[in-house]
């Protein structure tokens, strides 16, 4: 390498930290992480709702190069995952490389100097050869656009901004949303509230969760006989890869999975009327499949009502539904998800010729070569960019693929100082054509979810096995990129 490139990473979640670790492991140390919050962790710092946990087992939902042999459970709680991230970051000296409390407002590529100028809320301009936004897809809570939402006089909060100062014991609580977040906190709060009304717009596909507490024997085996740990990781990975095939290439695999979900509902919800409400009316796999053994039993309790009439307004004292009924409640919890299709917002990113990234994406939605590079935006590589989310599998596996690829790009730029590169337009177009072709027949087309934007384009999901993405991103090919040399 002739000159080590300077690198700015935005975000200290799994993506940003993983990127930093990959660079460091390959001797690239000229990087800084800008993090808007006061702590690292991304979604695992933000989401502290009761029962917050990961529904991807930890042996796979962890960095391959930083295995942990003493996870308390197979499906870890938020606290344990956050602690793991902190421990790995500390071990590798990353906190010293993070500028906390530093939020990026905009970034502009300076063609004359071949560098990114990145402005932050403290008024500082950071300069770097390479910019790596690693801000996730699920970092900005989405509130529903309901009439009267501000008129409510009780406590109200979003699941990702859980207000722990609000005591739920003995209260009448409204829960809006039936996604992966809600399914985790509803069973935790149901026993303590006086009454819980679940406002369900769509019933969820729910599968049993094969959780287990790891014993001292597990921990000893995982530590001293690493092949046992690797075997479990491999088994979990294979299971999710088969699920990914069910969503894309081999739909018949879904048949036994649907049967399992149906049986789970039948055995856990004896009441036929309630079971009918909780039976999805859309294709399995369209929204994210959920895993829980506690969700249905919680909904079957006497202090719970599942309301399927649409919400028409929020009133000062509750929620009104389309049948005219006003449901009086003390607290409203919005489990209404995230602005997943608004990639990189609210940052303003300007590429060559002052082109604004949000404008490039305004017609159809976000798109990028390999989910990482956009023509005309040189030396910018996104982590967890467009079409890199998984319908089944571990996002950390996907992020590791991206980090390896971007590290190779950084090494290439280090070997060719003064050059800047962005995906060739025709390469990006044929990538997008291939993606759209593969996405065409996936179940994600048949309902609305955070995987699709308002125009109906699936901007978030990767259509295939994670192994396919790893293969596609295994080697950085300079020929896929337009190159320019900084004028001297």
Residues that bind ligand NAP in the complex, under the rule CB under 6 A: 53-56, 138, 144, 146, 159, 176-182, 199, 201-202, 287-288, 311, 335-338, 448, 450
**What is the SS3 assignment for 137?**
coil
Q: Give the angle 280-319-141 at the CA atoms, nearest 5°.
A: 70
User: 31 pairs with which residues across the strands?
Assistant: 7
Shortest distance (Å) from residue 259 CB to ligand NAP: 23
For ligand NAP, the nearest residue by Cβ is: 179
Shortest distance (Å) from residue 5 CB to ligand NAP: 32
Q: Is the dihedral of CA 21, 22, 26, 32 positive or negative?
A: negative
Distance between CA atoms of 341 and 452, rounded to whole angstroms? 7
For residues 131 and 396, which CB has a smaller minimum distance to ligand NAP in the complex? 396
Shortest distance (Å) from residue 385 CB to ligand NAP: 16
Shortest distance (Å) from residue 445 CB to ligand NAP: 15
Both structure tokens of 9 = 């990473």
Contact 352, 376 (CB under 8 A): yes
For residues 286 and 374, which CB has a smaller minimum distance to ligand NAP in the complex? 286
Both structure tokens of 84 = 């793991």
Residues in the chain: 488
- Indicate the pairing of strand 195-199 with strand 172-176: parallel
For residues 138 and 306, which CB has a smaller minimum distance to ligand NAP in the complex? 138
Shortest distance (Å) from residue 232 CB to ligand NAP: 18
Contact 389, 397 (CB under 8 A): no
For residues 197 and 373, which CB has a smaller minimum distance to ligand NAP in the complex? 197
Both structure tokens of 55 = 């529904």
For residues 288 and 407, which CB has a smaller minimum distance to ligand NAP in the complex? 288
Shortest distance (Å) from residue 132 CB to ligand NAP: 22
Q: Give the angle 372-373-375 at the CA atoms, nearest 5°.
A: 160
For residues 69 and 202, which CB has a smaller minimum distance to ligand NAP in the complex? 202
For residues 311 and 380, which CB has a smaller minimum distance to ligand NAP in the complex? 311
Q: Give the angle 316-318-321 at the CA atoms, nearest 5°.
A: 120
Distance between CA atoms of 247 and 288, rounded to whole angstroms? 11
Distance between CA atoms of 369 and 29, rounded to whole angstroms? 26
Shortest distance (Å) from residue 60 CB to ligand NAP: 11
């Amino acid at each position: 390498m002739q000159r080590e490139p300077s690198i700015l990473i935005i975000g200290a979640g799994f993506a940003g930290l993983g990127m930093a670790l990959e660079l460091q492991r390959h001797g690239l140390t000229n990087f800084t992480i800008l993090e808007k919050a006061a702590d690292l962790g991304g979604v695992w710092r933000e989401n502290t709702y009761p029962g917050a946990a990961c529904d991807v087992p930890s042996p796979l939902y962890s960095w391959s190069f930083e295995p942990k042999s003493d996870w308390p459970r197979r499906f870890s709680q938020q606290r344990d995952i956050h602690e793991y991230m902190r421990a790995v970051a500390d071990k590798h000296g990353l906190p010293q490389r993070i500028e906390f409390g530093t939020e990026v407002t905009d970034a502009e590529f300076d063609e004359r100097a071949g560098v990114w100028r990145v402005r932050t809320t403290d008024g500082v301009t950071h300069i770097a050869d390479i910019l790596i936004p690693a801000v996730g897809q699920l970092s900005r809570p989405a509130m529903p656009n309901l009439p009267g939402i501000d008129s409510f006089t009780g406590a109200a909060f979003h699941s990702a901004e859980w207000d722990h100062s609000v005591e739920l014991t003995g209260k009448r609580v409204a829960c809006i949303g039936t996604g992966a977040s809600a399914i985790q906190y509803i069973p935790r709060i149901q026993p303590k509230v006086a009454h819980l009304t679940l406002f369900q717009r769509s019933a969820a596909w729910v599968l049993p969760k094969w959780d287990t507490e790891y014993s001292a024997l597990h921990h000893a085996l995982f530590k001293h006989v690493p092949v046992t740990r690797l075997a479990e990781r491999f088994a979990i990975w294979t299971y999710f890869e088969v699920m990914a095939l069910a969503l894309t290439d081999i739909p018949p695999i879904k048949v036994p999975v649907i049967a399992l979900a149906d049986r789970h509902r039948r055995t856990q919800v004896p009441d036929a009327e309630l079971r009918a409400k909780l039976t999805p009316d859309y294709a399995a796999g369209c929204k994210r499949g959920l895993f829980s053994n506690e969700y249905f039993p919680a909904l079957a309790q006497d202090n719970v009502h599942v309301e399927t009439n649409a919400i028409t307004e929020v009133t000062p004292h509750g929620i009104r539904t389309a049948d005219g009924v006003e449901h009086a409640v003390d607290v409203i919890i919005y489990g209404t998800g995230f602005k997943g299709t608004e990639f990189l917002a609210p940052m303003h990113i300007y590429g060559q010729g002052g082109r604004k990234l949000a404008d490039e994406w305004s017609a159809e939605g976000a798109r990028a070569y390999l989910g990482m590079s956009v023509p005309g935006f040189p030396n910018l590589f996104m982590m967890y960019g467009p079409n890199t989310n998984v319908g089944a599998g571990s996002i950390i596996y996907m992020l590791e693929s991206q980090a390896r690829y971007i590290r190779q790009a950084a090494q290439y730029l280090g070997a060719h100082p003064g050059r800047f590169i962005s995906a060739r337009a025709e390469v990006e177009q044929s990538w997008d054509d291939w993606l759209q072709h593969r996405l065409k027949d996936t179940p994600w087309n048949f309902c609305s979810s955070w995987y699709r934007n308002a125009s109906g384009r699936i901007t978030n999901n990767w259509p295939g096995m994670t192994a396919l993405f790893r293969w596609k991103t295994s080697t950085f090919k300079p020929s896929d990129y337009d190159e320019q040399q900084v004028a001297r």
